[in-house]
């Protein structure tokens, strides 16, 4: 008989419907649904009085607004949000899993592009970065010409990427928070997939001048190009193509070599989540993350609002007070950021999240955290910072897919694993994105856009370890250039949306 529901913890007083259920369906002895229950939504296991706790993941998701009867459908309109946990004096080091207790990786090497410093590249790309959005149109046209006229001469180069962004002018360049977008652009210029070749295109009158993103020794005619220096279209285009050709000659000499997992840096992200995300896709990705960490790789997870309600669980995985304090610092910064904008953390869930069974941000956070696995958190980063350690890293970023991804790219990820329940064509042009869905219905619907389905975990046909192994293998295959995820096959690449909390003038 097909599985009808999933229960996470013994203390939970709700279960999640694995499929659409009609009213009157007996899902277990003594429990009959009182209404039609949509797939992924919650069913009450007992009578819950008004003000009573609604518990999933062993965590209080909220409090019943009205009386709820056993067998009722519980949705986002039926519970009040609890207070967010305090970040002051959180206990740390109480849930430290030794590295030797993590699942053993079945492969310990991959084929990547070694860099002089930092993580290795998963791709060999010419990256051309603008200092200002004003140059974006010119650069996009130039890149199309580079692809057609130059790239065929350099078979060892995987592609050319125009890194354009909505920053650089019309901004308060010296504002206290301007360091965040400036740091992101600075670090993207030296992304591991660009092989150390610097090519920056500016307009000439912007506020984001070259010296803000490059050290003096790198501000040379070989690395930077100012559009206002050229008389007309042809001169401008020829200069860009000439500089690109010289960079491509150098990149073409790079080749893949066998490298240890310690040279690999990946990101974990989720978007378009549903109530199965924390049951199937995210825990499976977390299992793969644990395998990678045991093998010496570095794994990054993010999304502040989607961990905020489980921050005490993350603190328990911090080995020392310094790491715990850095985690608290990032949470406080974001609490203040949201408050100044006049919103709370529950502004995060989308209509699609709620249609997929997620009642509020607490429930979403509990599922989101699962993608980090179980290993110790060795470092906490601010947005777009680069890691200094190997292992599991929490990189504070907004939860928005199109801002979190570029922030992780700026931190140097070579690829990203992206979990979804509702479905999204999201992708990144700098780093390949592997798409993992939480339910088989989405894989069947987007059969040629989703790379891996974790839906068999929800139905009970596979284990988290089974799908985690599948994700682990695909990570190494994509990082090694053996496989190409669907987002790259189709060129589904989102814009580089740099996180900019500073004022725009």
3-state secondary structure 240-270: HHHHHHHHHHHHCCCCCEEEEHHHCEEEEEE
Residue 326: pLDDT band with limits 50, 70, 90: very high
- Residue 259 lies inside a defined structural domain of this protein: no
Averaged pLDDT for residues 52-63? 96
Within a domain: 227: yes
Please determine, for residue 48, whether its predicted confidence score (pLDDT) is greater than 90.
yes
Q: Copy the structure tokens of residue 360.
A: 């509020």
Please give the sequence-ordered ranges of beta strands (E in DSSP) within 182-232, or none if there are none. Answer: 200-202, 224-226
Residues in the chain: 505
Q: Are residues 189 and 282 in the same domain?
A: no
Are 306 and 355 within one domain?
Answer: yes
Task: In whole angstroms, give the CA distance from residue 40 to residue 17.
Answer: 5
Res 437: pLDDT: 98
Give the pLDDT confidence score for residue 344 in this predicted structure.
86
Q: What is the largest CA-CA distance in the chain?
A: 81
The mean of the pLDDT values for the chain is: 96
pLDDT at 378: 98
Domain presence at residue 501: no
- Assess whether 279 and 388 both reside in one domain: yes
Instruction: Give 266-282 pLDDT, tens digit per residue.
Output: 999 999 999 999 999 99
CB neighbour burial string for 401-428, b if at least 16 within 10 angstroms, e if fewer: bebbbbbbbbbbbbbbbbbbbbbbebbb
Token output for 191: 């992304």
Once rounded to an integer, what is the mean pLDDT over residues 14-36?
96
Residue 288's domain comprises 264-490
Question: In the sheet that 53-56 helps form, which strands lie side by side, from edge to edge?
Answer: 53-56, 59-64, 79-80
CA 265 to chain centre: 13
| Whether residue 226 is found in the same domain as residue 268 | no
Where is the domain boundary, 251, 278, 295? 251
d(CA 43, CA 56): 11
239 and 275 belong to one structural domain:
no
Residue 465 lies in a domain: yes
Residues 309, 401 contacting (CB under 8 angstroms) = no
User: Using DSSP, how many helices (H) and how many strands (E) does the chain show?
Assistant: 13, 22
Q: Is the pLDDT of residue 25 over 80?
A: yes
Same domain, 467 and 374: yes
Please give the tally of structural domains in the chain.
Answer: 3
With beta carbons less than 8 A apart as the criterion, state whether 425 and 359 touch.
Answer: no
Same domain as 376, residue 294: yes
Q: Say how far apart CA 25 and CA 31 lie, in whole Å.
A: 8
The candidate with the shortest Cα–Cα distance to 357, out of 34, 80, 76, is: 76
Region 61-86: mean pLDDT is 95
Residue 210 is part of a domain; what is its CATH number? Answer: 3.40.50
In a domain? residue 232: yes
pLDDT in tens, 378-410: 999 999 999 999 999 999 999 999 999 999 999
Residue 1 in this model has a pLDDT that exceeds 70: no
Residue 503 in domain? no
Q: Flag whether 35 is in a domain.
A: yes
CA distance 182 to 172: 11
Residues 244 and 277 in one domain: no
Same domain? 198 vs 271: no
pLDDT recorded at residue 345: 86
Q: What is the pLDDT of residue 8?
A: 94
Is 25 within a domain? yes
Distance separating alpha carbons of residues 411 and 301, to the nearest angstrom:
11
Cβ within 8 Å of residue 5, ≥6 positions away: 15, 16, 17, 18, 27, 28, 43
Paired tokens of 10? 């013994």
Alpha carbons 241 and 416: distance in angstroms, whole number:
30
Asked which of 251, 285, 311 is the last residue of a domain, the reply is 251
Give the span between the Cα atoms of 46 and 48, in whole angstroms: 6
Which of these ranges, 110-114, 239-243, 346-350, 483-487, has the smallest mean pLDDT? 346-350
DSSP character for 164? -
* Residues 205 and 309 both lie in one domain: no
pLDDT tens-digit profile of 411-437?
999 999 999 999 999 999 999 999 999
Residues 431 and 287 in one domain: yes
Last residue of a domain, one of 65, 80, 95: 80
Please indicate, yes or no, whether residues 242 and 299 belong to a single structural domain of this protein.
Answer: no
Q: What are 56's strand-pairing partners?
A: 59
Quote the Cα angle for 397-286-355, to 5°: 70
Instruction: Tell me 105's DSSP state.
Output: P
Query: Closest Cα to residue 56, out of 85, 13, 18, 19?
Result: 13
> pLDDT over 70 for what percent of the chain?
100
């Amino acid at each position: 008989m097909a599985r009808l529901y999933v229960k996470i913890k013994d203390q939970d007083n709700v279960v999640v419907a694995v499929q659409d259920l009609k009213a009157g369906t007996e899902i277990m002895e003594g429990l009959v649904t009182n209404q039609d229950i949509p797939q992924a939504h919650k069913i009450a296991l007992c009578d819950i009085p008004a003000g009573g706790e609604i518990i999933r993941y062993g965590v209080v998701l909220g409090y019943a607004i009205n009386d709820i009867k056993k067998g009722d459908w519980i949705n986002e309109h039926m519970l009040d949000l609890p207070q967010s946990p305090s970040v002051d004096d959180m206990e740390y080091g109480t849930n430290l899993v030794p590295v030797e207790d993590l699942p053993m990786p079945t492969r310990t090497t991959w084929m990547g592009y070694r860099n002089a410093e930092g993580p290795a590249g998963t791709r060999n790309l010419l990256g051309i970065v603008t200092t200002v959005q004003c140059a974006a149109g010119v650069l996009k046209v130039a890149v199309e010409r580079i692809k057609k006229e130059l790239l065929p001469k350099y078979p060892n180069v995987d592609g050319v990427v125009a890194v354009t962004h909505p920053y650089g002018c019309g901004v308060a360049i010296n504002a206290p928070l301007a360091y965040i977008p400036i740091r992101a652009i600075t670090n993207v210029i030296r992304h591991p997939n660009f092989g150390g070749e610097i090519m920056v295109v500016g307009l000439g009158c912007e506020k984001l001048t070259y010296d803000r993103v490059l050290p003096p020794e790198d501000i040379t005619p070989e690395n930077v190009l100012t559009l206002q220096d050229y008389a007309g279209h042809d001169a401008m285009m020829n200069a860009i193509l000439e500089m690109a050709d010289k960079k491509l000659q150098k990149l073409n000499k790079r080749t893949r070599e066998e490298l240890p997992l310690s040279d690999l840096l990946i990101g974990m992200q989720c978007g378009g989540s549903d109530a199965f995300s924390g049951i199937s896709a995210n825990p499976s990705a977390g299992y793969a993350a644990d395998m990678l960490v045991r093998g010496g790789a570095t794994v990054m997870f993010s999304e502040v609002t989607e961990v905020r309600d489980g921050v005490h669980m993350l603190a328990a995985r911090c080995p020392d007070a310094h790491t715990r304090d850095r985690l608290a610092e990032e949470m406080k910064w974001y609490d203040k950021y949201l408050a100044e904008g006049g919103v709370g953390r529950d502004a995060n869930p989308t209509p699609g999240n709620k249609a997929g069974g997620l009642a509020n941000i607490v429930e979403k956070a509990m599922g989101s955290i699962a993608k980090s696995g179980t290993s110790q958190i060795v470092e906490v980063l601010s947005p777009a910072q680069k890691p200094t350690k190997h292992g599991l890293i929490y990189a504070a970023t907004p939860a928005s897919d199109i801002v979190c991804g570029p922030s992780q790219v700026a931190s140097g990820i070579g690829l990203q694993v992206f979990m979804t329940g509702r479905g999204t064509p999201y992708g990144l042009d700098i780093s390949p994105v592997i798409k993992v869905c939480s339910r088989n219905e989405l894989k069947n619907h987007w059969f040629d856009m989703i790379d891996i389905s974790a839906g068999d975990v929800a139905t009970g046909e596979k284990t988290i370890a089974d799908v985690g192994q599948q994700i682990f293998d695909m990570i190494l295959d994509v990082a090694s250039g053996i496989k190409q995820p669907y987002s790259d096959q189709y060129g589904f690449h989102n814009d580089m949306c740099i996180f900019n909390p500073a004022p725009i003038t």
